[in-house]
Structure 1
């Protein structure tokens, strides 16, 4: 991986009707790396990813910076692999035509040349008999084939950054592994970095270089993925890992007490304090700032104590 970031996010804040749901987030995306963004539902994962793409809802108010701004070159320098492949593909046009249109949207090439690239892209993600299947409509593809097709569409113009928003949530384990393998192969073939939004920590362990853990719209921990998962310093990260089924050995699945706070009803101090077994008075009084500890960033007053 190169040392100069492809993207630098600084003090990213996203609000709806004056209520912040992403709160002062800063991180970099490095060339060729896989950066996983993880956390419970409502942590701000997908909103953060869509801010990189310039695809926030109209009602969202964003401050902070994303540099350079690649959203104007969406599809060419930055591209999305969505969760729901069927909704991402037009039902009234053949899959090959849609991929060819993506080529022609950024390059002045003939229709036949764009068509050839579309077929090659489908072959590149393992679609059998790609020239014939390029003439098929999305409903004629299986779920796994549709997911491969949107990976082909996202990578067909060799972007610098891919953003994959929960790309395997609706898939069984076998198809999930197939799709992740195809995504990795295509990402490597075009030399792109990947921002992977996921709630599956085993996927992070196997596929990510770094992990960004979010809680209540704010950084909890950021560092090398294996180090974060094998020796978490933020109590929230440790709780996520303890809740995985493979960690309970037949005992009752441990859970956090309580639920994440609503964005408009954050407690004073650390947002995780009401659920945290390590919380002390300082946690309930002052929100911790991220600090460098053990080669990573940790936002916890007691991060060094773990």
Structure 2
């Protein structure tokens, strides 16, 4: 069960009962969701929630040594690695690490083109320059000959957006794409990412802890805790009327929501994958927790046009 809106568009990407474990300990536990054509789905939660691991699984890039269960289908295919760069592409968190330091940026974009299409080198090079121009890099012909260390942080992030979109994929996966940037550059990069996503008609899975970015850029939000779905629904509803206590706690801890009062914080810390409490993993930190919560893990249920995994969703 995933769709919190029966009758919605046929999913482009479908995840069912995804499980990712290391040495038998599950870090992602039975996660199910869909990504619809052209939408922006944000994966939200504290560090360790399993967001980035889920994002990597969508690209067929689960870390070595991990075991997986469940299924991920992109347009019906489960061969994600074969579709990476063509139908699904990554916008990484650290652009400097993602780009080769020993090749000009333009050469790397041209190589991305030639990895999925047998076009002449000259045509691939022209497409690389055009891609840099589209993301707002000035003097793109000259900049295409430059190396990543000669780019600013914001320019490098624009370059990896150009690389991710150059083959016009169906789905983009952006893993904390603005982490290393200041607020002004963060907003610029998110704007460019949105523009390029729309230009190629791609859906976007945006991994972020930035709820303001979710508020302004996402259609739907999937809130994760301890490797599971906590709440999934339209971003405006999730961020203005949360039904899960965990979502409510995240929102209350935003500085602008304190309104002159002491900033509230969520008590405690998320549990390690190998040290989950019985019942609901959030129960030790939740002010609404009861014996039922400490005994039985809640399953996602439909409520107010979304999915919520909480025994006390009406009280949150």
TM-score range, shorter chain: over 0.9
Partner of 2:35: 29
Task: Name the CA distance, whole Å, in 2 between partners of 1:284 and 1:92.
Answer: 54
Kindly indicate whether residue 72 of structure 2 is the aligned counterpart of residue 62 of structure 1: no
Task: Name the CA distance, whole Å, in 1 between partners of 2:139 and 2:266.
Answer: 49
Aligned pair count reads: 305
- In structure 2, stretches of 5+ residues that fail to align are 1-7
Tell me which of 179, 194, 201 is aligned to 1:184. Answer: 194
Please tell me whether the aligned partners of residues 71 and 78 of structure 1 are also in contact (alpha carbons under 8 angstroms): no
Kindly indicate whether residue 82 of structure 2 is the aligned counterpart of residue 82 of structure 1: no
Match of 1:303, SS? Answer: coil
> 1:89, CA displacement in angstroms?
0.5
Match of 2:297, SS? Answer: coil
> 1:73, CA displacement in angstroms?
1.2
Partner of 2:280: 270
Match of 2:20, SS? Answer: strand
Kindly indicate whether residue 212 of structure 2 is the aligned counterpart of residue 210 of structure 1: no
Task: Name the CA distance, whole Å, in 2 between partners of 1:73 and 1:28.
Answer: 18
Partner of 1:305: 315
Partner of 2:3: none
Kindly indicate whether residue 140 of structure 2 is the aligned counterpart of residue 137 of structure 1: no
Structure 1 stretches (4+) deviating beyond 3 angstroms?
none
Scaled by the length of structure 1, the TM-score of the pair is 0.98
- In structure 1, stretches of 5+ residues that fail to align are none
Kindly indicate whether residue 51 of structure 2 is the aligned counterpart of residue 41 of structure 1: no
The one-character-per-residue Cα deviations of 1:160-216 (angstroms, maximum 9, x if unpaired) are 000000000110110001000000000000000000000000000000000000000
Scaled by the length of structure 2, the TM-score of the pair is 0.95
Please tell me whether the aligned partners of residues 168 and 179 of structure 1 are also in contact (alpha carbons under 8 angstroms): yes
Match of 2:216, SS? Answer: helix
The one-character-per-residue Cα deviations of 1:63-118 (angstroms, maximum 9, x if unpaired) are 00001323311000000000000000011110000000000000010000000000
Kindly indicate whether residue 123 of structure 2 is the aligned counterpart of residue 113 of structure 1: yes
> 1:253, CA displacement in angstroms?
1.4
Task: Name the CA distance, whole Å, in 2 between partners of 1:250 and 1:229.
Answer: 20
Please tell me whether the aligned partners of residues 209 and 225 of structure 1 are also in contact (alpha carbons under 8 angstroms): yes
Match of 1:15, SS? Answer: strand
Kindly indicate whether residue 133 of structure 2 is the aligned counterpart of residue 123 of structure 1: yes
